[in-house]
Structure 1
């Protein structure tokens, strides 16, 4: 019996839909991909998803792709229900409550920030986001479209 892909334990709370579109399926304007290393911590992933949803207001969901393996998507509506919004006046993320808040403690040392890089297909407009930019550009899943370009 074949089972669907499993979300890594650290990210399973973000996966709202485990259906993964195939390379020829619909992944158009309503969905983008977020590629990241499986070792990425949940708070950084949450901040990246916040950035992705703010950057693209038409986006309905984001397909989570740790280490090149799609595990499912997170819907904007569910994400916004799970994760409290940052205070727009102080520019900081909330410290209490919500997904990824843990015990509200902080670790010693300088905080590490991740940057989401956006890639777009020049032919169909599909978007892929990555936390790391030191790899070859992603390929559009539509046959014949080729490599995506970094977008601003």
Structure 2
């Protein structure tokens, strides 16, 4: 998949771009071998996608923010899996498909950047609501955490 670039489409009609020429958005090379141990953290997790095509579509830079790798692979991943499990077990419509509203975001830092241009968020948050068929009522939850290295050694 080619990541859409927003720099100058007239000069790059195929949307491919020399990563060194990009100044206003993240590119793959920002994340490669960075000395801050940052992952391309998903906003919409691929584990929440319904099929392979939808899963592949989540691996874009427009769906990512820099996340501390141990946080992204640790407590944040655990939370994403628990949310997914809850939705699967409790929030299905009459056709047995998950019906929920999920919103995820990042709180930008004031000055913490990757390569002096890609903001590294201070906090990550996600919230959802759905009609719980087991409880017969609407439910909502929200989760947030600092984007820092997990200290829990279980992950």
Q: TM-score range by the shorter chain?
A: under 0.3
TM-score (norm 2): 0.27
Q: Which has the higher strand share?
A: 2
Higher relative contact order structure (alpha carbons within 8 Å, sequence separation ≥ 6): 1
Q: Which has the higher helix share?
A: 2
Instruction: Return the index of the structure with the highest Cα Rg.
Output: 2
